[in-house]
C-alpha cells in the first residue's frame, strides 16, 4: 500500500517590537534573568494588561501580505493550562475571531507547478517564560524560570493541511520567513527562536479521503531540521502502520543529534484548554480605513519586486532572485540603478564584487562601506574611459578599505587609463623586441600567442592601458 | 442531573483543586443549577445578536510601543517561593 503524507504547519513569529504585547517592559534579548518584568508579565493579581498598538499593526501587515482577510472585530481569549513558565496559569491568545483569516501563499518547489497553500488563521498571543535546567546555585536539581520572555508578542500562523512533502513544507516556511523579515516585523533569527515551527504530520493510504491520525512535532528551529523531522516522522508512521500498529495523536520532539522524533511524555495528557474571552482585554475593532492605511504602508513584496526587476529593468530571473534575497540588498541595488542607470551592470557588481567583499569581511549589506552612489560613481569612471574595468576592481577594493571616493583614489594612485596611442605603441615596441621568438610564432600562424602579448602590455602598463586600444595597435604591429 | 460528580472531578483536576466528596456533590448540584439557568436563555430569540464577550461596551484600548521601567529584580523576586541566582526556582521540569 502506498501512502500520502499530509502536513500542516503552525509557525510562531516573534514580533520586533520594543516592548511586550501587554506591558511596557523591554523585549531586548539577553538581559539579566527576570530583570525585564513587571506585575503584568509576572502575572501578579490585579495587574491590567493593555494591548500594544504596534502588535496590531504588525499583525494586519502580516495578514495583508498573506492574502488574509482582516477580522473587523476580534477578541482575546484565555488558554488555560499549568506549566512553570506560564505565571498566570493561562496564556492570553485568540481563539474565536482571530485577527486574520482565510489567506494563502503560493509556493514553488523545483520541478513542480506553483501551488497554493491555504492559511487558516493568524492570531496574536503572548509568549511564555524560559525554563533553565541544572547548574543553578542552591537549587539542587530543580529548574529555573526566567520571565523576561513572558508576554513577548507572537503571531501564530496556522496553515491548512495542504502540504504533501517535506520540500513543500520548507518552501512554505521560507516564503513566510521571507515575508515577515521583509515587512520588518520579525528579525527572522531561528536559532534565537524568533521564527519557530510546529509540524502536524499524518499519513493516509493513497486515494483515501479520510485523514490519518496526526502527530505534532514541536519547536523545530531550522529549515534543515524541519525537512529531516518531517521525513523521519512520515517514515515512522508508515512503518508503524505496515507493522499493524496505529498512530496515536501525541506531541513529539525532534532531536537534531539523532535525526529522530520522540514522544513527549510531559504533554501526553489530553488537553482541555477551556478557552474563554479575556475580560481584561476589550474587543479589537479594525475598520476598513485602518486596513487601507496599512495596505498603503506595505513595502513592495519580494515576489512583485522580483517580477518588476525582470519586466522593467530587464534582468534575468536568476539576478532578480539573488537581488531579492533580502529587502536591504534589493534597496541597495535599486539605489545603485537610480544613480547609474545601467541595471545589468549594477546587478553584476552587487552580485559580484560587493557580495564577495561582504563575505570576506563578514559584513552585511546595510553596513557596506561603499554606498550605492559611490558604486555608481566608480562605474561612471569606467563608462567615461577614465579607468579600465580591471582597474575598477582595484579601485573598489581601495574604496572598501579606506572609504575614499573613487575619483580621489584614481588620482592619488595615478590609475587613469592610458588611451594615448604613442605611449602604448612605445610599450608594444619594447615587448615585441624582447620577445622576438613569440612574434615569429604569431606571424607563422600561431594566433594563440596574441593573448600573451596583451597580457605583457597590460602588465607593463600596470593595467592602465586601454584594452581596446591595446588590441587594435597590437594586431596592426604584429601583422607588421 | 446534567453534571455528575465525575464531571466535577474532571474540572477540579484541570484546576488543580482537591475536593472532598461532600464538596463534589455540593458543586455538582450548584453547577447543575447554573446550567439550568443558562438553558432558560435558549427560550429567547437571539438571532442576529453578537455573542457578548465583555460586559462593558468598550473597544480598542491601546498603549504605544514605548519602553517603561520594569520593577527591578529585588521586587520581581521578592515573593518568589524559591529563588536561585536570579531565577524563580521550581521543581525539576522534565521534557
Closest CA to B67 of A35, A284, A123, A93: A35
| Whether residue A154 is found in the same domain as residue A284 | yes
Backbone phi and psi for residue A33, each to the nearest 5 degrees, phi listed first: -50, 135
- Return d(Cα A24, Cα A348) in angstroms, integer: 46
| Whether residue A427 is found in the same domain as residue A392 | no
- What mean pLDDT is predicted for residues A50-66? 97
Query: Of A249, A272, A290, which residue is a domain's last?
Result: A290
Whether A70 maps to a domain, the answer reads: yes
Whether A295 maps to a domain, the answer reads: no
Distance from CA of B79 to the nearest CA of A (A): 10
**Among candidates B60, B66, B82 on the partner chain, residue whose Cβ is nearest the Cβ of A285:** B60
Which chain B residues are closer than 8 Å to A271 by Cβ? none
Query: Which residues 20-49 in chain B show a CB within 8 A of chain A?
Result: none
* Side-chain-side CA neighbours of residue A306 (13 Å): 14
Whether A253 maps to a domain, the answer reads: yes
| Whether residue A196 is found in the same domain as residue A62 | yes
Backbone phi and psi for residue A77, each to the nearest 5 degrees, phi listed first: -130, 160
- What mean pLDDT is predicted for residues A258-262? 88
A37 touching chain B per CB within 8 A? yes
Domain span at A102 = 3-290
| Whether residue A94 is found in the same domain as residue A206 | yes
Residue A447's pLDDT is what? Answer: 80
A272 touching chain B per CB within 8 A? yes
A434 touching chain B per CB within 8 A? no
Please provide the CATH number assigned to the domain covering B1-43. 1.10.20.60
pLDDT in tens, A285-298: 999 999 999 999 99
pLDDT in tens, A73-120: 999 999 998 889 999 999 999 999 999 999 999 888 878 888 999 999
- What mean pLDDT is predicted for residues B4-8? 92
- What mean pLDDT is predicted for residues A121-143? 83
Mean pLDDT of chain A: 89
pLDDT for A270 beyond 80: no
Has this prediction a pTM greater than 0.90? Answer: no
| Residue B85, all three cell numbers | 541566582
A42 touching chain B per CB within 8 A? yes
pLDDT in tens, A312-358: 999 998 899 889 888 889 999 999 999 998 999 999 999 999 999 98
CB within 8 Å: A24 and B63: yes
Whether A131 maps to a domain, the answer reads: yes
B66 touching chain A per CB within 8 A? yes
Give residue A278's pLDDT band: very low, low, confident or very high (50, 70, 90): very high
CB within 8 Å: A136 and B87: yes
pLDDT for A136 beyond 80: no
Q: How far is CA A163 from CA A104, A252, A254, A331, in A?
A: 12, 19, 19, 33
**Among candidates A42, A50, A142 on the partner chain, residue whose Cβ is nearest the Cβ of B90:** A142
| Whether residue A458 is found in the same domain as residue A402 | no
Residue A23's pLDDT is what? Answer: 97
Question: By the 8 A CB rule, do A26 and A225 touch?
Answer: no
Q: What are the sequence ranges of the domains in chain B?
A: 1-43
Residue A7's pLDDT is what? Answer: 96
Q: Dihedral through CA A289, CA A290, CA A293, CA A299, nearest 10?
A: -140
- Return d(Cα A286, Cα A295) in angstroms, integer: 13
CB within 8 Å: B54 and A82: no
pLDDT for A423 beyond 90: no
- Count up the domains in chain A and report the number: 3
Residue A125's pLDDT is what? Answer: 98
Residues in chain A: 480
Backbone phi and psi for residue A435, each to the nearest 5 degrees, phi listed first: -130, 55
Whether A119 maps to a domain, the answer reads: yes
Question: By the 8 A CB rule, do A65 and A183 touch?
Answer: yes
| Whether residue A310 is found in the same domain as residue A240 | no
Residue A117's pLDDT is what? Answer: 96
CB within 8 Å: B67 and A142: no
Give residue A157's pLDDT band: very low, low, confident or very high (50, 70, 90): very high
Amino acid at each position: 500500500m502506498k501512502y500520502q503524507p499530509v502536513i500542516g504547519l503552525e509557525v510562531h513569529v516573534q514580533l520586533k517590537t520594543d516592548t511586550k504585547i501587554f506591558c511596557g517592559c523591554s523585549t531586548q534579548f539577553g538581559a539579566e534573568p527576570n530583570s525585564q518584568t513587571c506585575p503584568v508579565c509576572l502575572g501578579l493579581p490585579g495587574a491590567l494588561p493593555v494591548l500594544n498598538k504596534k502588535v496590531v499593526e504588525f499583525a494586519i501587515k502580516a495578514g495583508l501580505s498573506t492574502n488574509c482577510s482582516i477580522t473587523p472585530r476580534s477578541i482575546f481569549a484565555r488558554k488555560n493550562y499549568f506549566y512553570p513558565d506560564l505565571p498566570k496559569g493561562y496564556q492570553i491568545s485568540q481563539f474565536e475571531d482571530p485577527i486574520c483569516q482565510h489567506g494563502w501563499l503560493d509556493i514553488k518547489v523545483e520541478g513542480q507547478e506553483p501551488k497554493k497553500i491555504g492559511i487558516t488563521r493568524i492570531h496574536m498571543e503572548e509568549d511564555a517564560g524560559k525554563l533553565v535546567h541544572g547548574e543553578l546555585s542552591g537549587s539542587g536539581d530543580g529548574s529555573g524560570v526566567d520571565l523576561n520572555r513572558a508576554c513577548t508578542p507572537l503571531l501564530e500562523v496556522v496553515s491548512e493541511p495542504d502540504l504533501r512533502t517535506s520540500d513543500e513544507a520548507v518552501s512554505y516556511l521560507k516564503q513566510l520567513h521571507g515575508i515577515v523579515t521583509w515587512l520588518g516585523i520579525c528579525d527572522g533569527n531561528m536559532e534565537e527562536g524568533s521564527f519557530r515551527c510546529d509540524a502536524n504530520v499524518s499519513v493516509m493510504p493513497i486515494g483515501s479521503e479520510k485523514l490519518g491520525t496526526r502527530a505534532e512535532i514541536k519547536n523545530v528551529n531550522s529549515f534543515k531540521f524541519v525537512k529531516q523531522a518531517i521525513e523521519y516522522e512520515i517514515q515512522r508512521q508508515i512503518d508503524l502502520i505496515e507493522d499493524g500498529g496505529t498512530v496515536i495523536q501525541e506531541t513529539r520532539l525532534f532531536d537534531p543529534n539523532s535525526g529522530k522524533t520522540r514522544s513527549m511524555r510531559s504533554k501526553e495528557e489530553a488537553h482541555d484548554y477551556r478557552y474563554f474571552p479575556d475580560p481584561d482585554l476589550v474587543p479589537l475593532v479594525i475598520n476598513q480605513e485602518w486596513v487601507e492605511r496599512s495596505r498603503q504602508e506595505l513595502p513592495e513584496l519580494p515576489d512583485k519586486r522580483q517580477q518588476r526587476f525582470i519586466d522593467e529593468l530587464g534582468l534575468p530571473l536568476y539576478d532578480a532572485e539573488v537581488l531579492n534575497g533580502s529587502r536591504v540588498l534589493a534597496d541597495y541595488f535599486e539605489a545603485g540603478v537610480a544613480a547609474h542607470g545601467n541595471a545589468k551592470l549594477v546587478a553584476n557588481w552587487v552580485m559580484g564584487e560587493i557580495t564577495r567583499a561582504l563575505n570576506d569581511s563578514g559584513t552585511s549589506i546595510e553596513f557596506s562601506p561603499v554606498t550605492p552612489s559611490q558604486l555608481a560613481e566608480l562605474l561612471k569612471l569606467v563608462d567615461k574611459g577614465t579607468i579600465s574595468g580591471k582597474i575598477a576592481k582595484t579601485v573598489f577594493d581601495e574604496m572598501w578599505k579606506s572609504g575614499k571616493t573613487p575619483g580621489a583614489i584614481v588620482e592619488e594612485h595615478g590609475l587613469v587609463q592610458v588611451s594615448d596611442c604613442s605611449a602604448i605603441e612605445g610599450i608594444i615596441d619594447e615587448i615585441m623586441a624582447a620577445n622576438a621568438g613569440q612574434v615569429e610564432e604569431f606571424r607563422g600562424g600561431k594566433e594563440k600567442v596574441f593573448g600573451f602579448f596583451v597580457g605583457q602590455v597590460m602588465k607593463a602598463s600596470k593595467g592602465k592601458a586601454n584594452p581596446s586600444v591595446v588590441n587594435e595597435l597590437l594586431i596592426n604591429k604584429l601583422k607588421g | 442531573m446534567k453534571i455528575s460528580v465525575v464531571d466535577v472531578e474532571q474540572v477540579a483536576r484541570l484546576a488543580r483543586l482537591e475536593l472532598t466528596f461532600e464538596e463534589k456533590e455540593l458543586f455538582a448540584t450548584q453547577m447543575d443549577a447554573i446550567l439550568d439557568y443558562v438553558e432558560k436563555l435558549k427560550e429567547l430569540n437571539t438571532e442576529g445578536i453578537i455573542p457578548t464577550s465583555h460586559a462593558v461596551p468598550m473597544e480598542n484600548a491601546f498603549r504605544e510601543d514605548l519602553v517603561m521601567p520594569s520593577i527591578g529584580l529585588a521586587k520581581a523576586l521578592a515573593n518568589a517561593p524559591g529563588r536561585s541566582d536570579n531565577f524563580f526556582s521550581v521543581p525539576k521540569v522534565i521534557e
